[in-house]
Structure 1
Amino acid sequence: MRIADLDGQRVAVWGFGREGRAAITALRKRLPQQALTLFCAPAEVDAARAFDTVLDVRGVEPEAAVLAAFDVVIKSPGISAYKPALLAAQAQGTRFTSGTALWFGENPDARVIAVTGTKGKSTTSALVAHLARALGVRTALAGNIGLPLLELLDQSADLWVIELSSFQTGEAGLLELGVITSLYEEHLDWHGSRERYVADKLRLTDVSRQLLVNALQPALLEHTQQHPHRLLFGQPTGWHVTDGCIRRGPQEVFPVDQLAAPGLHNALNACSALAALSAVGMDALAAAPALAHFRPLPHRLQSLGERGGFHWVNDSISTTPLATLAALESLHGRAVTVLVGGHDRGLDWMPFVDAMHSAPAHAIVCMGSNGARIEAALCDANVGCPIVRVDDLAAAVAEAKARAPKGGVILLSPGAPSFDQFKDYAERGRRFAEQAGFDAVTIVGIEGMGIA
């Protein structure tokens, strides 16, 4: 679907976040006379009316009958495609689209590398763009990473690097290369089940001429084995990590200890980015030295520095227990007091519990709405380190300070979403930085978004 196809239709925009605002702006640019209705939260009504004075603003959650009155609804990513009201309206003929789908409709010939994955997709996307630019390629970095594609409507680039969440993979058009960094269970509240999450994530395979996947993930290999042009990273014959070095086959390319982003998983992210460039015909070996100048993304194992005799690490982006384990692995050998817990969406914490039973952290502070569940599982397993439960982040930071040894690490890696206490993971990470004694303004911002 293209924006021109909306001309004269009954059109609604559902959601007034950045994606919703981008959609409204794009439609006003292309179809200035088009009537538009916006569905948003009650608290957003005044801001929405100020944003566009001729919008029909409705501060309600639309029911099926209301949605069915429209020909097309442009939905923000955070609104589940499986809401009963949406499905009922769809059955009555309402078409649902998104800013991502509209951008692909407007740019069918764009050269696109699309990146998804339960974890690693943002860092990998940023790395691909960073390395491509090091080769002199005019590159766009956009999508789920924080810049809606419609904000770049009518702009040109030689390469588009687009991060897609599991909410967006089914909205992409045909693209040159799809990259899947990892596949674990997540977002079960949006998708409804693990099986549906996996199926939605893998919809990227249907539109990718070439598909690059992580060879270290057996389930991912099984799910993608039928793709006719599948490539792998993480195996010895290709881009992989061995003996502290990123290699292409047997060839040493870049020392892992020169990466600013710590941990084996970030070295694998670098491998996926280099493999992606190779897959689209670029000189990855020539680009590899630029890894030394890549700035890690905020809230992703972000080293904040020293305060009060402790080293503080912000990994607020961690929303699965396996991501927390990866964070702890990256700090192996350090005395780590880890803060876990948040919004409970029913994920399995037993892999984390089992790992802590074998190799416990210095201390574990459980917080948030699933903190009691995590604490109980750790205690039932007789994990051999201090375990304490608190209600909120402020109390968790205070407990961490009381229990961490001087010179130790205090790590925020919750393994759960932030919605029980915060708007999003970024707000949680900023609050953690402030409570640790840092200026939160200095830790925000992702370098390289947009076109350069």
Structure 2
Amino acid sequence: MIPVQGVRGETLAVLGLGRSGLSAARALAAGGARVLVWDDTPAALERAAEEGFEPRNLVQDRALDDVARLIVSPGIPHLYPRPNPAVAAALRAGVPVDNDIGLFFQSLGGETWDAYDRPPRVIAVTGSNGKSTTAALIHHLLTASGRESQLAGNIGRGVLDIDRPGDGGVVVLELSSYQTELARALTPDIAVFTNLSPDHLDRHGGLGGYFAAKRRLFAEGGPDRAVIGVDETEGAFLAGQLAEGRSDDRVIRISAARKLQGPGWHVFARKGFLSEWRKGRQIASVDLREIAGLPGAHNHQNACAAFAAVRALGMGPREIEAGLRSFKGLPHRSQQIAEVNNVRYVNDSKATNVDSALKALEAFPRIRWVCGGLMKEGGLEALAPALDRVAKAYVIGREAESFALQLPGVTAETCGDMALAVALAVAEAQPGEVVLLAPAAASFDQYDNFEKRGEDFTACVLRELGLEPGEA
């Protein structure tokens, strides 16, 4: 645990008692604070009370009079489309609002670091797509090389639940826009921006607000190094704002779409090869084409981001290449389930929006596509560039018929549920094809979350192939 510093003797309130909320409450108590808690769910309040935390309805009159700060969990709206009533009350009362990420950066350093020969470092990763894979890949590269690393934030453990890092240890954080927008302290040593595509627009008042939330990771504390994906206008703009000039190697530009040129520090992937250039000359190259855990251009972008981040820590190219080759990927993110009779079965249930689904489709030449669910704003038109790769779509979900109608030129069968979709796809798949779950939609019409959807896909595939878990 990382006890929160600077709160001894103060009263702080925690709103939302999921993983991050309870973790924050415990870390505040360990730092000597009096901790009040509130959640709309009675069971969550009861669990917190059993741990000794004091429940208080934070929207009652004068409930915040003695509160020094309100700590808000990421799922709770704090600005758009409208603040949660307790957050609105705090804003009216002038009570500062923060989250567990702000508490983490407030508390990680301190005088104890003077005893370290090499102070611990923090790498923070944000972006629309690929941030989980990028963060996990950075963590994998570090641990594979024998370095101490902890993975936290949106992936792994809660940020305040980790162990205090040792000499030269690295903390790798995956941070969502909800977290970066609200944190009062953001001071990573290395910050990574993967890409930007429309998502969570209701929570940020539009695309500009969404980008501004991501940008805070780079603007608030000023990282020593910034790794920036420049394949979108927003990333190119951010890199330009951070760099003092073309040769400023504090900014490492990355791309999976084009060769980057100029005197600066660049890492890019073209035709399956990762290249590192610095001061106008090539430093390293890695063949990514046969790395099963990193298929497709979107994962090549993740590889570029992770490569750049650990290079900024001083790791050598050959050491990084060995780590890339041993990376198995993450569950539900381009995860290969099985390969039977030259047909691959891939679970990308995390492809919940059109942009991530497009990248998944572009990773394979011939696809039996399991898709559908609760569609997001904007429709499916952006998928058009990859639809010629689809041999057939097997559409699931409550909106299956309307989903299928938005796939012009694609043979689509409305299946409704996962079991039927997988059974048909397995029966009809030909050698050289990929049976791919990349829904391009949310899961909540049929599943609690994308993980449950991916687990169902995996179970259905294994059942149809007559395999046991771990046998594929």
Residue 37 of structure 2 is aligned to residue 37 of structure 1: yes
Amino acid at match of 2:236: L
1:256 matched to 2:288? The reply is: yes
Match in the other structure for 2:269 = 241
Q: Report the equivalent of 2:53.
A: 55
Residue 361 of structure 2 is matched in structure 1 by: 328
Answer with 302-311 or 134-143: which moved more: 302-311
Kept in 1, the 8 Å contact 2:64–2:90? The answer is yes
**TM-score relative to the length of structure 2:** 0.80
Q: 1:354: Cα distance to partner?
A: 5.2
Runs of at least 5 residues in structure 2 that lack an aligned partner in the other structure: 111-119, 244-249
Indicate how the Cα distance of structure 1 residues 370 and 114 shifts in structure 2: closer, same or farther if over 3 A, else same: farther
Q: Is the 8 A contact 1:344 1:369 kept in 2?
A: no
- 1:74-97 CA distance string (max 9 Å, x none): 221122222432235313222222
Look up the SS of the partner of 2:397 in the other structure: coil
Measured in 2, the distance between the counterparts of 1:392 and 1:3 equals: 47
SS at match of 1:426: helix
Q: Percent identity?
A: 31
Alignment of 1:57-206 (within 5 A): 57=55, 63=59, 68=64, 70-82=67-79, 83-84=82-83, 85=85, 86-108=87-109, 110-156=120-166, 158-170=169-181, 171=183, 172-206=185-219
Question: So what's the TM-score if we normalise by structure 1?
Answer: 0.84
Aligned-partner Cα distance in 1 for 2:285–2:313: 19
Mean CA deviation greater in 64-73 or 182-191 = 64-73
CA offsets, 1:54-109, max 9 Å, x none?
33457x9x658687554422221122222432235313222222111111100146
**Paired residue for 1:217?**
232
Counterpart contact for 2:70–2:97, Cα < 8 Å: yes
CA root-mean-square deviation: 3.1
CA 431–259 in structure 1, closer or farther in 2 if over 3 Å, else same: same
Corresponding position of 1:446: none
Q: For the structure 1 residues 369 and 91, does the alpha-carbon distance in structure 2 shift closer, same or farther, using more than 3 Å as the test?
A: farther
Provide closer, same or farther for how the CA distance between residues 344 and 67 of structure 1 changes in structure 2, counting only shifts above 3 A. Answer: farther
Q: Evaluate the alpha carbon distance shift between residue 343 and residue 88 of structure 1 in structure 2; reply closer, same or farther with a 3 A threshold.
A: farther
Alpha-carbon distance change, 78 to 394 in structure 1, aligned in 2, over 3 angstroms: farther
Paired residue total: 429
Unaligned runs of 5+ in 1: 444-452
Q: Distance in 2 between matches of 1:433 and 1:364?
A: 18
Picking from 368, 372, 375, the partner of 1:337 is 368
Q: CA separation in 2, counterparts of 1:187 and 1:239?
A: 29
Distance 2:17 2:420 in 1: 33
Q: Tell me if the contact between 2:392 and 2:410 (Cα under 8 Å) persists in the aligned partners.
A: yes
CA distance in structure 1 between the partners assigned to 2:228 and 2:165 by the alignment: 30
Q: Which has the higher contact order (CA 8 A, sep 6+)?
A: 1
Q: Deviation of residue 162 (structure 1)?
A: 1.4
Residue 325 of structure 2 aligns to a residue whose secondary structure is helix
Does structure 1 retain, via aligned residues, the 8 Å contact 2:14–2:70? yes
* SS in structure 1 at match of 2:234: helix
Is the 8 Å Cα contact of residues 17 and 45 (structure 2) preserved in structure 1? no
Contact kept, 8 Å, 2:37 with 2:48, in 1: the verdict is no
Cα pair distance change 1:64/1:396, threshold 3 Å: farther
Q: Deviations over 1:276-329 (max 9, x none)?
A: 222344434443222111221111110100479963211011121111111111
Deviates more, 1:384-393 or 1:398-407: 398-407
